[in-house]
Structure 1
Amino acid sequence: MKYKKRIILFSLLFVIFIIFIVPGALADSSCLDCHEKLSAFNETEKLFNEIRVKHLARDVSCSLDCHAATLDKFAKSNYEQWTRSKHAQFNVSCESCHGGNPGSDIKDEAHTGVRRSSDPDSTVFYRNVPETCGECHVDELNQFRDSKHYQRLKALKQAPTCDTCHAPHEFKVLNMSEIHGMCSNCHNPDMRIAPLDVPDMAIASLEDAERLNDEIKKAMDAIKFAKQQGEDVSEAQKDLENAESIRDQLPVLWHSFDLAQFESVIDSGIEAARRAQMDSDTPAATPSTPGAGAMLSLAGIIAIYLLLRRGKG
């Protein structure tokens, strides 16, 4: 009964936190106050955004005379996209990327220092995006700086950057099929960006990462069984922890886009997980023949009975 009361109490506290505390933490941001009131995101604006991103990738700025109305609609939709993002969940608001003064409700003051994404000095200009994201995602930036993507980006060439894959304002994480399609945008026979088999290699690497996770689960089960048998699992536990550490660093390592290195790290993780399975392996007892003990006992009883009868005779 006490346990149920605790669950109810914690549930009420969580609801109070979501309803009152979280909105209060965001209440001082004029960015959210303003953009929340603007029009919702729609598919037409999403299509326009994709076209605009392609323009920016080629250093082609949109003409405000031509696209002013559409640009305005798109700007109004950013809040809607952001509300569905991980950034929203962790209270990372507009000024973290765009700059500005969220403490002011005067438009000009609120947008102080904010530049259009087509401006090379903007924090969200496509070549500057990695450093902007890297203010928080330090490890990912360090890996990305070692990639060919980053080298091409800094050489003023067309190349993918953070929001190419993660989508501005949504900051989504691509699934396996989406990654194949994304890589294929550049690594294809028409674009002639080698190696052409990158999309397939990327999927193979991600499948191997899943295989590592499966081997870790097997190791955990083996160690659990060995513990139940009273076996020493200290070495197996070390190997398991090593495999888990390798698995946990894979999302960051992915941003180097060095698939050969990525595969090598996965292989070392799989080896560690399999060592954990072997180290915790408990030899199975040799099964006895069903009924053998009973048959021997019966034979002994019969022999004693016959001896007793012979003695009486």
Structure 2
Amino acid sequence: MNFRKTVLLIFSMLLFAIFIIPEALAQNSCLDCHEKLTVFNESERQFNEIRIKHLARDVSCSVDCHASILDKIAISNYEQWTKSKHALFGVTCEKCHGGDAGSDEKETAHTGVYRSSDTRSRIYYRNVPETCGECHTDELEHFKNSVHFQNLQALKNAPTCDTCHVSHEFEILAVEEFHALCSNCHNPDMRIAPADAPEKAIIALGNAEILKSEIRTARDAIKQAKEEGRDVTAAQVELDKAITIHDNLPIIWHDFNLALFEGVITDGLNAARKSQEEAGLQPVETLPSTPGFGIILSLLGFGMIYVSIIYYRRK
């Protein structure tokens, strides 16, 4: 009898485990979310797997070795956003990701929000320009003129907005950062023309800095002319042209047409220097160099060496 009771008890427990517990768990909303959470994000998990392999081979290693990388990865998207200009101007998550920020219900709040790898997502890399363009209309208009955008439309791999402006940070690259970034594609090995685009980009951005300097010089010249009681109307008109051109350079840059960009800068430089001239600033005179003078000196040097060799041989 005891044996039969034991069998019945075990059988009842099995039925409970098979049918009752899963049903209860399925109704647990906490598990719906937390079963998807892990201690590590994807990149951290990869580092941890590498660490385990190192330990298996008796290679001394710890997470401390990769601390700087892990620290960077561990920064949440929210923390990155709080330091961005988007946060400063109140551009919140739903503006890019979609969803209903006014809802406290998870499902409603995430309506229309998809993973970035989903073609329906507003932040899918081919959709990013249109998403950003909802606010940055001028930049989008110029970007649509670029080969980069044409390649995106042709379903090819190409840079998009967050290639340069990292997601959630949205910082503008420093001039010295462009070469490394552009060289990822524009290099002899990849054979993506033009291969010298990174070098030309640095030169173009350097010329933009020269334009800024010329504008400052024109401002100072106009200020000096005003103090001397001279008419600066014409000078101010040219200065305003130069300033407008300079202020529009970031937008024109999104054409990714360096010849066009350089041409616009040249127009700005001409206007700034014309302003300086109208304000009475005398151009800095440079001493003319003698064409070929360096070559002549080199030939004379070689001649003297040759004569010296002949002299010592005869001696």
Q: Deviations over 1:23-60 (max 9, x none)?
A: xxxxxxxxxxxxxxx99x99956x99xxxxxxxxxxxx
Give me the identity figure in percent: 60
Equivalences for 1:258-297 in 2 at 5 Å?
A: 258-281=257-280
Partner Cα separation in structure 1 for residue 206 and residue 42 of structure 2: 32
Equivalences for 1:162-177 in 2 at 5 Å?
A: 162-177=161-176
Quote how far apart the aligned CAs of 1:244 are: 0.5
CA contact 1:231–1:282 (8 Å) conserved in 2: no
Partner Cα separation in structure 2 for residue 148 and residue 223 of structure 1: 41
Counterparts in 2 of 1:149 and 1:229: CA distance versus 1, 3 Å: same
Q: Which residue of 1 aligns with 2:232?
A: 233
Q: Which residue of 1 aligns with 2:128?
A: 129
Partner Cα separation in structure 2 for residue 248 and residue 210 of structure 1: 12
Quote how far apart the aligned CAs of 1:103 are: 1.3
Q: 2:218 matched to 1:223?
A: no
Q: Deviations over 1:161-199 (max 9, x none)?
A: 000110111111100111111101100112110101000
Q: Which residue of 1 aligns with 2:90?
A: 91
Q: Which residue of 1 aligns with 2:52?
A: none
2:170 match: secondary structure: coil
Q: Which residue of 2 aligns with 1:192?
A: 191
- Aligned-residue RMSD, C-alpha: 2.4
CA contact 1:166–1:172 (8 Å) conserved in 2: yes
Q: Which residue of 2 aligns with 1:144?
A: 143
Q: Deviations over 1:223-259 (max 9, x none)?
A: 1111111111100010000000000000111011000
1:269 aligned partner, one-letter code:
G
2:114 aligned partner, one-letter code:
R
Counterparts in 2 of 1:260 and 1:247: CA distance versus 1, 3 Å: same
Q: Which residue of 1 aligns with 2:113?
A: 114
Q: Which residue of 1 aligns with 2:303?
A: none
Report how many aligned residue pairs link the two structures: 219
1:179 match: secondary structure: helix
Q: TM-score if structure 1 supplies the norm length?
A: 0.66
1:223 aligned partner, one-letter code:
I
Q: Which residue of 1 aligns with 2:204?
A: 205
2:254 match: secondary structure: helix
Counterparts in 2 of 1:43 and 1:250: CA distance versus 1, 3 Å: farther
Q: Which residue of 2 aligns with 1:101?
A: 100
4+ long deviations beyond 4 Å? 41-45
Partner Cα separation in structure 2 for residue 239 and residue 44 of structure 1: 53
Q: Deviations over 1:183-220 (max 9, x none)?
A: 01100112110101000100000000000011111111
1:118 match: secondary structure: coil
Q: Which residue of 2 aligns with 1:159?
A: 158
Q: Which residue of 2 aligns with 1:8?
A: none
Partner Cα separation in structure 2 for residue 123 and residue 43 of structure 1: 22
Give 5+ residue unaligned stretches, structure 1. Answer: 1-37, 49-73, 284-313
Q: Which residue of 2 aligns with 1:61?
A: none
Counterparts in 2 of 1:123 and 1:282: CA distance versus 1, 3 Å: closer
Q: Deviations over 1:50-92 (max 9, x none)?
A: xxxxxxxxxxxxxxxxxxxxxxxx7982112211211111111
Partner Cα separation in structure 2 for residue 42 and residue 241 of structure 1: 51
1:154 aligned partner, one-letter code:
Q
Counterparts in 2 of 1:75 and 1:125: CA distance versus 1, 3 Å: farther
Quote how far apart the aligned CAs of 1:282 are: 6.5
Q: Which residue of 2 aligns with 1:179?
A: 178
Structure showing greater Rg: 2
Q: Which residue of 1 aligns with 2:251?
A: 252
Higher RCO (C-alpha under 8 Å, 6+ residues apart): 1
Partner Cα separation in structure 2 for residue 224 and residue 83 of structure 1: 40
